[in-house]
Amino acid sequence: MNARFRDRVSFCSALGMGLGVSTGHPLGIIAAAGMPVACLTAGTRKAVFKSTLVYYVAGIWPMVPGLNRYFGQSEISLIPVAMWVFAAILLSVPWTIAWTSERRFNYLWRVPLALMATIVPPLGIVGLASPVTGAGYLFPGTAWVGLAAVALLPGIVLSTHALALRRRCAVLCLVSSSAVGLAIGGRLFAPGDAAPPTGWTAVNTQFGDVRQPFRDFLAAESVQQKAAETSARVLIFPESVVPRWSEATEAFWRQSLDRWGTRGQIIAIGAGLPGKTRTPKDNREKLSGLRSFDFGAAIDVLKRIDPQSPPAMQRSVLPNPLIKPRPEPVDNTLLIVGAESAVFYQRVPVPVGMWRPFTRISVPLRLNAPGVLGIDHQRAAVLICYEQMLTFPILASMLEHPTVIVGISNTFWVNHTTIPRYQATALRGWAKLFHLPYFLAVNS
Tell me: the pLDDT tens digits for 100-138? 988 778 999 999 999 999 999 999 999 999 999 999 999
CATH 1.20.120.80 fits 200-277+329-443, yes or no: no
Rounded average pLDDT over 385-398: 96
- Select from 215, 150, 205 the least CA-distant residue to 441: 205
Residue 406: pLDDT band with limits 50, 70, 90: very high
What letter represents residue 76's amino acid?
A: I
Task: Delimit the domains of the chain by residue range.
Answer: 3-189, 200-277+329-443, 279-327
Check if the beta carbon of residue 271 is closer than 8 Å to that of residue 241: yes
Tell me the percentage of the chain whose pLDDT exceeds 70. Answer: 86
Could you read off the pLDDT of 75-98 as tens digits, one per residue? Answer: 556 888 888 999 999 999 999 999
Predicted local distance difference test score (pLDDT) of residue 313: 45
Given a contact cutoff of 8 angstroms between Cβ atoms, the answer to whether 239 and 410 are in contact is yes
Average pLDDT, the chain: 86
Q: How far apart are CA 44 and CA 139, in angstroms?
A: 32
Residues 180-199: tens digit of each pLDDT: 999 999 888 888 889 999 99
The pLDDT score that the predictor gives to residue 330 is 82
In terms of Cα–Cα distance, which of 391, 388, 403 is closest to 434? 403
> How confident is the model at residue 171, as a pLDDT?
85
Q: What is the pLDDT of residues 265-296, one digit of tens each?
A: 999 999 998 876 444 555 444 444 444 444 44
pLDDT in tens, 139-157: 999 999 999 999 999 999 9
Report the pLDDT value the prediction gives residue 24, as an integer from 0 to 100: 95
